[in-house]
Amino acid sequence: MTDRAREDVDLIARYLAGDVDAFNELMEAHENRVFGICLRIMRDREAALDAVQETFITVFRKADRYRAEAAFSTWLYRVAVNTCYDQLRRRKRRAADRLPETHDPPDRTIDDELASVDVRPAIEEALSELTPEFRAAVVLVDLEGLSLEMAGDVLGVPVGTVKSRVFRGRRRLAELLGNLDATSRHPRGDANA
């Protein structure tokens, strides 16, 4: 168990014992990552902020349901992803506005900062084309750096399903970004692959 995980368990115990400040500490420790997950899934800053708020309200009300079988962060991220799914269902997939470029951090994998700014909107647009399930898997694994196992715990699906969603999501992103031609999708000529 990591130091962060131990501290989270202690903060939950303190909160359940009546220490509201402990919940505030817990929220401060995780709010940036929860916002990042929600923003990438919701694709709209205001909707993501609403999802973050709803996530923490849910955790505030249901903290007694947390069982220390997995890390608190895993449980929290699962609540956040489910909250986003619920909000997306309510919105009935209406078109999301593109994120303003001023809020996009530069892509550190690209040497030229100007090229990074040019690529970012295309990636955000391509992400918006993925189904919510594929988008959540790609966001958690590729953008948030969660392990396949932890992403499976967050999403409530087996690791094999996470692998499949990440693979299919990456393949679809490559197609949308023009990095994969139609012939490379089925290298053995198998139309059912």
Q: What is the largest CA-CA distance in the chain?
A: 62
**∠ CA 84-89-95, rounded to 5°:** 90
What is the Cα–Cα distance from 144 to 36, expressed in whole angstroms? 8
What is the Cα–Cα distance from 112 to 84, expressed in whole angstroms? 33
Percent share of the chain, pLDDT over 90: 46
45: how many CB neighbours lie within 10 A of its CB? 15
What is the Cα–Cα distance from 75 to 105, expressed in whole angstroms? 27
Do 49 and 35 form a contact (C-beta atoms < 8 A)? Answer: yes
Q: What is the pTM of this model?
A: 0.64
Domain boundaries, the chain: 1-95
How does the average pLDDT of the chain come out, rounded? 81
The CATH architecture to which 1-95 belongs is Orthogonal Bundle (1.10)
pLDDT tier for residue 132 given thresholds of 50, 70 and 90: confident
Residue/partner pairs of 20-23 with CB below 8 Å, 24 or more apart: 23/60, 23/63
Predicted pLDDT of residue 128: 82
Backbone angles phi, psi at 156, to 5 degrees: 75, 30
Q: 54-89 pLDDT, tens per residue?
A: 999 999 999 999 888 888 999 999 999 999 999 988
For residues 114 and 68, which has the higher predicted lDDT (pLDDT)? Answer: 68
